[in-house]
Structure 1
Amino acid sequence: MRDGRGALDYGHPSYALVIPQPGEQWRAAVTTVGHAYLVVGLDPLGPGMGPELIDRYLGRVVTGGRALMAIADVQG
């Protein structure tokens, strides 16, 4: 967590994956718990998808075995 943003350091020397505006509830939860659960969907995700469509997408890729999941420690 840096400057209110979440950033995932995945080992690339120059880049990190940044969550530019995580909600206050998300920031409080990961800071309190000390880790975040990550899900990377392997199927394309359409632009402009709202929360409902993203939830359906995640359900589909997870149950279909098309997602990678991990737990990351929170620092900062």
Structure 2
Amino acid sequence: MQHCVLVYRVQPKGKHWTICFGGFPCGEFDSRRDALHSAAADARRVRRMGHVVHVRVARPPDCERPLPDKMLPALH
């Protein structure tokens, strides 16, 4: 079985947050935290299958200073 690097992106979508995977938005969440929890749970599941998984988290749009996306450390 071929394993690959998969990237989940938690990012704003209008007034909500979404998880983008494979270039497509998946789900709509009321908060960044809710989207992050969902992305992390699915990333752990996929990692158990042997894939390398990264979760990138966009900063809230109302941040006072521009900051790069945050990459979560390895999910256990």
TM-score (norm 1): 0.31
Structure possessing the higher radius of gyration over alpha carbons: 1
Question: Which structure has more strand as a fraction of its residues?
Answer: 2
Question: Which structure has more helix as a fraction of its residues?
Answer: 1
TM-score (norm 2): 0.31
